[in-house]
Amino acid sequence: MKFGVKCVLLAAGPVLFSLFPAAAFAADTAVPTTASIFVDGVSKAFDAYNINGNNYFKLRDVAYTLSGGLKQFEVQWDAAAGTVALRTGAAYTPVGGEMSAGNGEAKSPAPADLKLLLNNAPVALRAYNIGGYNYCKLRDLGRLLHFGVQWDAAAKSVTVVTSEDYTEENALSYMKSFGVYSTTADWVESAELSQNDRYYYLKRGQSPGRTVSSISVESIRHRYAESEHQAFREAVFRQLLKQVSNDPDAGFLFGEGTTTEKGLTLYTFTIEYEGIDRTDRMYYIIGDYKYVLITETDRHDKNAADITAAAKAIADSFEWAR
């Protein structure tokens, strides 16, 4: 759920903010995947969905299709423990309904509290429940089960390759003292701008400047536990609302609550400027008495039109240092 407030409507701010959901999930839509799907070169008809730009597949459909091959895995449901157990190298046992066709209509997916074990070890995997089935991002499954995933933009096709291990596509990984994350390949760290544990990223080939779009990443300590993320959210909102109201160039302030692909609580605030050609988008990932702030400063430079995708990639891939 989202809210918005014009900078001059200060009295309306607290009322609008109370509409921010107590839960940290925004509404998602699952649209049937239109891409052609192949497994080792053979066309397959999956009932797959695109959610927020990513393809999600029914877990049992993937296991059914890969059974008997190099990357086969078993799926077992333990009702008493409430867990789904995956076992690599084992043939899949069908339960009925695998590879059934969908009706071609968009769905309203619900975030699934998927307790997953891989070879008896717990793993974290974001999933959605659609029609009573668990759907997982294909790339997450590839990363977890070590099969290749290839995207052909020209042919609009997705290919699963069981003879290859999974490799990240179009991503650069960074390890910092506070955590690890990845950017899209065209956004690289600027040694010139980065200092004092605040790291800047520019579009490849760009030089620092007042009209250049940029992304920064930093970790900051604060007084809230992760369970108190709503109080933190309100404090940030008040601070940003004051900032916007005192800036003659600022226009609208928007906010949204959701989670990252790793399941971390995420609050995103956007400031649209009217007097200057600029949009600031701030991603707050909440931890215990700390948070990561990813700041996207979009100067509306056509060479950096993919800045939001790059910033979201950082947020979705972020994991705290252990």
Q: Answer yes or no: do 254 and 280 share one domain.
A: yes
Q: Are strands 116-118 and 110-112 parallel, antiparallel or unpaired?
A: unpaired
- Give the whole-angstrom CA distance, residue 269 versus residue 253: 7
Q: Answer yes or no: do 181 and 307 share one domain.
A: yes
- Give the whole-angstrom CA distance, residue 298 versus residue 304: 8
Q: Quick one: pLDDT at residue 74?
A: 97
Q: Answer yes or no: do 174 and 151 share one domain.
A: no
Which residue from 307, 304, 305 is spatially nearest to 295, judged by alpha carbons? 307
Distances (CA, A) of 306 to 42, 185, 315: 33, 11, 15
Which residue from 159, 125, 162, 160 is spatially nearest to 140, judged by alpha carbons? 125
Last residue of a domain, one of 161, 180, 215: 161
- Report the CATH number at residue 268: 3.40.1000.10
Q: Answer yes or no: do 186 and 70 share one domain.
A: no
- Give the whole-angstrom CA distance, residue 280 versus residue 278: 7
Report the number of distinct structural domains present in the chain. Answer: 2
Q: Is the pLDDT of residue 316 over 60?
A: yes
Q: Quick one: pLDDT at residue 170?
A: 62
Q: Is the pLDDT of residue 257 over 50?
A: yes
Q: What is the mean pLDDT of residues 1-28?
A: 39
DSSP run (H or E) holding 13:
helix 13-17
Q: Answer yes or no: do 188 and 151 share one domain.
A: no
| Residue 264's pLDDT band (cuts 50, 70, 90) | very high
pTM for this prediction: 0.56
Q: Quick one: pLDDT at residue 27?
A: 55
> In terms of C-beta distances under 8 Å and separation of at least 24 residues, what long-range contacts does 110-117 make, across chains too?
111/25, 111/259, 114/84, 115/81, 115/82, 115/83, 115/84, 116/83, 116/84, 116/85, 116/86, 117/83, 117/84, 117/85, 117/86
pLDDT tens digits along 217-240:
999 999 999 999 999 999 999 999
Range of the domain at 293: 2-26+170-320
Task: Name every residue whose Cβ is closer than 8 Å to that of residue 215 and which is 6 or more positions away in sequence.
Answer: 183, 187, 200, 201, 294, 295, 296, 297, 307, 310, 311, 314
Q: Answer yes or no: do 151 and 233 share one domain.
A: no
Tokens 């995947």, residue? 33
pLDDT tens digits along 125-163:
788 999 989 999 998 899 889 899 988 878 889 999 999
- Give the whole-angstrom CA distance, residue 316 versus residue 255: 17
Q: Answer yes or no: do 283 and 178 share one domain.
A: yes
Q: Answer yes or no: do 156 and 251 share one domain.
A: no
Q: Quick one: pLDDT at residue 124?
A: 75
Task: Name every residue whose Cβ is closer than 8 Å to that of residue 321 and which is 6 or more positions away in sequence.
Answer: 176, 177, 178, 179, 180
Q: Quick one: pLDDT at residue 22?
A: 35
Last residue of a domain, one of 124, 142, 161: 161
Q: Answer yes or no: do 282 and 313 share one domain.
A: yes
Q: Is the pLDDT of residue 15 over 80?
A: no
The share of the chain scoring above pLDDT 90, in percent, equals 58
Q: Quick one: pLDDT at residue 16?
A: 35
Q: What is the mean pLDDT of residues 61-88?
A: 95
DSSP run (H or E) holding 285:
strand 279-287
Q: Answer yes or no: do 45 and 104 share one domain.
A: yes
pLDDT tens digits along 179-198:
999 998 789 999 999 999 99
Q: Are strands 279-287 and 290-298 parallel, antiparallel or unpaired?
A: antiparallel
Q: Answer yes or no: do 57 and 96 share one domain.
A: yes
Q: What is the mean pLDDT of residues 15-28?
A: 41
Q: Answer yes or no: do 146 and 196 share one domain.
A: no
Last residue of a domain, one of 120, 136, 161: 161
pLDDT tens digits along 95-105:
999 999 999 99
Task: Name every residue whose Cβ is closer than 8 Å to that of residue 175 and which is 6 or more positions away in sequence.
Answer: none
Specify the range with the lowest mean pLDDT, choosing from 2-6, 14-18, 295-299: 14-18
- Give the whole-angstrom CA distance, residue 248 versus residue 139: 44
